Amino acid sequence: MKMRTFYLSLILALVFDFAFVAKAQENRAKNPIIYADVPDMSMVRVGDAYYMSSTTMHMSPGVPIMKSKDLVNWKIVNYAYDTLANVDAMNLVNGKSTYGKGSWASCIRYHKGTFYVSTFAQTTGKTYIFSTKDIEKGPWVVHSFKPSYHDHTLFFDDDGRIYLIFAAGKLRILELKEDLSGIKEGTEKVLIENASAPAGDKIMLGAEGSQLFKVNGKYYLFNITWPRGGMRTVVVHRADQITGPYEGKLAFQDQGVAQGGMIDTPDGRWFAYLFQDHGSVGRIPFLVPMKWENGWPIIGVDGKVQIALDLPTSKGLIPGIVNNDEFKRKKGEPALPLVWQWNHNPDNNLWSVTDRKGYLRLKTGRIDTLFLKSRNTLTQRTFGPQCSGSTLIETLGLKEGDFAGLTAFQRKFGQVGVKIVNGQKFIFMVSNKTDKPTELECVPLSQNKVYLKIECDFRDKVDIANFFYSLNGKEWIHIGGSLKMEYTLMEHFMGYRFGLFNYASKTTGGFADFDYFHISDQISAN
């Protein structure tokens, strides 16, 4: 009897311990820390607050600035610029576009009370450095100069000198003028002849994505490289002087989680912030625990990514990264919350949240034959593992040949919306899976309002979007077919986004009114 009691007590204790551990893990953060497209992150800690910049390329405004108090829960607090440049490619005019270009990998720094965010743009051939005393409110001062320094890291050294490290494979260094107006002539030179070498001699992607840090008097340079037949890999070089010589090590290689840098917490812990290519949802951030051994950063636990992290649990991406919008504005509020970005520079004469109170109005001002070349598509990120976006559109203002609605937006886009053909309204679903926009279904519409919804399933990289409409907001009808979403690298280079659109193919002057946009982490197609 005593033995049976002992075993029963042991079993109960094990069950209790298991439940305790499971409950403890529920209250811990999990990777990925942001299950959405936030690539090329750069981070800085100022006191107990963390700030992160990222890449959104052809979107406007650009270079989002996010803030967190715990490295897990982030909120968009600003952008480095409203408009990168007023040129044809950014404005989607004269047949030009800058999909997949715009501004790329940024670098955020804090030096003597001022925040600096630098980036570069193939579209303009320039390097940009934005600075402000108040990163959340601005204003920003911008310095720009040629050429465009690829994947550079901005670094303020202790002696007051300012450097850029840039390029791929053969990394280079140069010194900037004190006023950030350009480079000091004669300072550019090769820093590391072959920065990919620690990962082997068969390299598909030369070391790039430079991020430089100084810890305990030593300089540490993080890069990503990609061995042929292998995976995205972190290499780290260190030196006693910023100009070298540098010694390098293969620092991390697991699940393709790579490219980024390192950050410390106020209580002395260290993490590497990196990202993973994760199918059509985009490039998603991971935090990987890090420690120091013999003056080297050791990334991961036994060289592996950890799912559970010793950090506070995530409260979700709503409302900090994506959010609902009722399009109702109080006096003094911005016209659009920071979760929104336009596809390229908008024509600000052709949209409004004041023309009709409580609605976003998208107007047409030109004729477009291709959706991807039309202006004023208003976007938010999709997110994983699953999400939905929905809206209510009023169509009284549409004209012959107008197309308006909701899109799952990338090169291989899908649309559900309303079109006007021979004076009659139709609900349509279009797929661009084959790079030829194809209408998969079209049904007559006899009322002025219609509810639209898109559901995205990114679980296990299934990457499927489904399209729905409703006449009463309660019963949803699947329309068209499922879209197999695809992350296109050279064209859009961006995870899928929800977008609200209206464009004209026959007559200008029409408009569509959107009552709201709602975003959710639930889908019906389980």
Measure CA of the first residue to CA of the last residue in the chain; give whole Å.
Answer: 50
Distance CA 130, CA 65 (A): 12
Query: Domains (ranges, CATH) in the chain?
Result: 39-264 (2.115.10.20), 341-520 (2.60.120.200)
Average pLDDT over residues 492-501: 97
Average pLDDT over residues 216-242: 97
pLDDT for residue 11: 60
Q: Per-residue confidence at 489, pLDDT binned at 50, 70, 90?
A: confident
Residue 209 near residue 151, CB atoms below 8 Å: yes
Residue 16 has pLDDT above 70, yes or no: no
pLDDT for residue 3: 57
Average pLDDT over residues 256-281: 98
Work out the mean pLDDT of the chain and round it to a whole number. Answer: 95
Single-letter amino acid, residue 90: M
Residue 19 has pLDDT above 50, yes or no: no
Residue 49 has pLDDT above 80, yes or no: yes
pLDDT for residue 24: 46
pLDDT for residue 134: 98
pLDDT for residue 13: 52
pLDDT tens across 317-370, in order?
999 999 999 999 999 999 999 999 999 999 999 999 999 999 999 999 999 999
Residue 516 has pLDDT above 60, yes or no: yes
Residue 299 has pLDDT above 70, yes or no: yes
pLDDT tens across 140-182, in order?
999 999 999 999 999 999 999 999 999 999 999 999 999 999 9
The token duo for 91 is 């404005």
Tell me the Cα Rg of the chain.
25
pLDDT tens across 388-406, in order?
999 999 999 999 999 999 9
Containing 45, the helix (H) or strand (E) segment is strand 42-46
Instruction: Scan for tokens 């052809």, then name that residue.
Output: 58
Residue 284 near residue 263, CB atoms below 8 Å: no
Distance CA 89, CA 91 (A): 5
Average pLDDT over residues 210-226: 98
The token duo for 348 is 């600000």
Beta-bridge partners for 221: 212, 237
Containing 11, the helix (H) or strand (E) segment is helix 2-26
Q: Provide the percentage of residues in the chain whose pLDDT is more than 70.
A: 95
Q: Is the pTM above the cut of 0.75?
A: yes
* Range in 25-29, 367-371, 455-459 with the lowest mean pLDDT: 25-29
Instruction: Scan for tokens 């209580």, then name that residue.
Output: 267
Residue 284 near residue 290, CB atoms below 8 Å: no
Residue 5 has pLDDT above 80, yes or no: no
Residue 102 near residue 343, CB atoms below 8 Å: no
- Cα 485 to the chain's mean position, in Å? 17
